[in-house]
A and B are shown apart, each in its own frame.
Chain A
Amino acid sequence: MGKESLNKEENYFLAKWLANEITDDNLKGHISAEDFVAYKKMQKGIDVFEALEAPMDESFLKIKNQLSKNKKGKIIQLNAKWITAIAASVVLLIVSYVGFNNRDTVINTDFGKQKTFALLDGSEVNLNAKSTITYNKNKWEGKRELSLKGEAFFKVKKGSTFTVNTTSGSITVVGTQFNIKVSDTYFEVICYEGKVEVISGSEIFLLQQGEGVRKIEANNLEKLKQTLKNPTWLTGESSYHKVPLKVVINELEQQFGVEFDRALIDESMIYTGSFDNKDLNIALASVFKPMGINYKSTGNNKIELR
């Protein structure tokens, strides 16, 4: 009788047990005592196999960090004055170290700048203009989690889950490439490789390669299709498909550090197209000419639209 129900529901108890979905005691109910000992040892063996097969990048990174610390050690003759000074600085160091350690790491870019850097696990981040990434180094090892304002393209190393928190939702992946753009009025996630889970409010989206979602102001999330291999901004171009002009103007402000006077135009017009991130004049022409909007510099990096 017990065997019957076992076949229906818990057929694959070994898989469940290894994934910690059922307990040791539960497993004992299915197999002989001898088998239990064997599986328990196998489990440990598999753990060891995993640990020894894992890539060694992290170890190498730690060694490099240690070496760069050691470099500073030089031999100096000590006298009493020195000793006091050193003792004082050691105390200071410890205090500042404790303080520092709990502080978040912040990486940001200014108007018109981009930055590429590696995170502690080797994941790669391209940060677009006027964007900020914040994470905690100490918590990183247990939990790959960071927060983003602005726009960034991620190439995530495989491993534990990797979460990006934004004001418009959180994005969780395992190992993949994706782009996030987030501002007060616009939220967009595009998956370039692998799979990405987007949670925004009560909505959950699972994006496959070439899919994306976006949200304009308070509207609902809508799906996007995308055929490029990388976001265009990486090569110095911002491109848009059917977005309110407001979003594009905000981006121009971030890329060039200018300010627009928008009082005389309708910002809700829909724009499709792209602009160059290097030359302001070309960018202005390619955005506003097709829309029939005139622009005039009024000095001090201010531009009037009419």
Chain B
Amino acid sequence: MAKELNSICDPNTYESVFNEHAKNLKRFLYFKFNDLSAAEDVLQETFIKLWDSCKEVTLEKVKSYLYTIANNKFLNIKKHEKVIRAYEEYPVSDRTNESPEFLIIEEEFLEKIEKAIAGLPEKQREVFLLSRIEKMKYSQIAEQLSISKIAVEKRMHNALKSMRSKIGNI
């Protein structure tokens, strides 16, 4: 009975496994690929694979199972990319330092950002999170907090400035 309840084949258990591990697994994958959409794809494939083999995986092993599957998928994709690249007539370098789109965000750097955000004064952090996580416009934030739009911009500006100084040399 207890065994059945804990089976990953049970949709509720499956969902709670997802809720527990998905965010960290996505983060893990992001730092491997340096690409958000690739991380998202592999995340989904990994959990689909977990469902397909839910009978073989116990709840105790599920974490290492997920990371192993995800890592294998990552390696396969990279291997495939290498094959493609070998056949390309003019190999193109996919990363340059000049174009910021290809800037690599290392895990340490993201941790610095997270720390910097967490360390912002309450009022600045509130504006920062409303803007970036809740995707609100400055005018909307101004209304919600009953302050002027200029005041919102000031907090945001200062938030970025203080994050810049905390992050230090890059």
Contacts and interface: CB of A to CB of B under 8 A. Distances in A.
A44 to B, nearest CB: 5
Contacts of B22: 56, 59-60
B135 A160 contact: yes
A50 B167 contact: no
B53 interface: no
B150 to A, nearest CB: 7
A21 B84 CA distance: 39
B153 A38 contact: no
A38 B103 CA distance: 11
B117 A52 contact: no
Given A42-B163, A42-B164, A160-B135, A48 B156 contact: no
Given A49-B114, A50-B132, A56-B18, A38 B170 contact: yes
Contacts of A41: 100, 103, 105, 109, 170
Which applies to chain B's interface (DSSP): helix, strand, loop or mixed? helix
A62 interface: yes
Interface string A260-294: 00000000000000000000000000000000000
Interface in B39-60: 40, 43-44, 47-48, 51-52
A37 B170 contact: yes
Contact of A44 (B30, B105, B117): B105
B133 interface: yes
B48 A66 contact: yes
B48 A63 contact: yes
Interface SS of chain A: helix
Interface in B122-159: 131-138, 140, 143-144, 150, 152-154, 156-157
A173 B48 CA distance: 34
A88 interface: no
A265 B164 CA distance: 73
Interface residues of B, number: 48
Given A18-B156, A51-B36, A60 B109 contact: no
Contacts of B36: 48, 51
A101 interface: no
A39 interface: yes
Interface string B106-129: 000110011001000000000000
A149 interface: no
A221 interface: no
Interface in A59-73: 59-60, 62-63, 66-67, 70
A44 B144 contact: no
Contacts of B48: 63, 66-67, 70
Interface string B54-89: 000000000000000000000000000000000000
Contact of A49 (B43, B110, B154): B110
A159 interface: yes
Given A44-B105, A45-B113, A56-B19, 16 more contacts: A12-B157, A14-B157, A15-B153, A15-B154, A15-B157, A16-B153, A18-B131, A41-B103, A41-B105, A45-B110, A48-B36, A59-B43, A63-B44, A70-B52, A158-B134, A206-B143
Cβ-closest 5 pairs across A and B: A15-B156, A12-B153, A12-B157, A15-B153, A14-B160
7 contacts: A40-B100, A45-B110, A48-B110, A52-B110, A59-B26, A70-B52, A195-B140
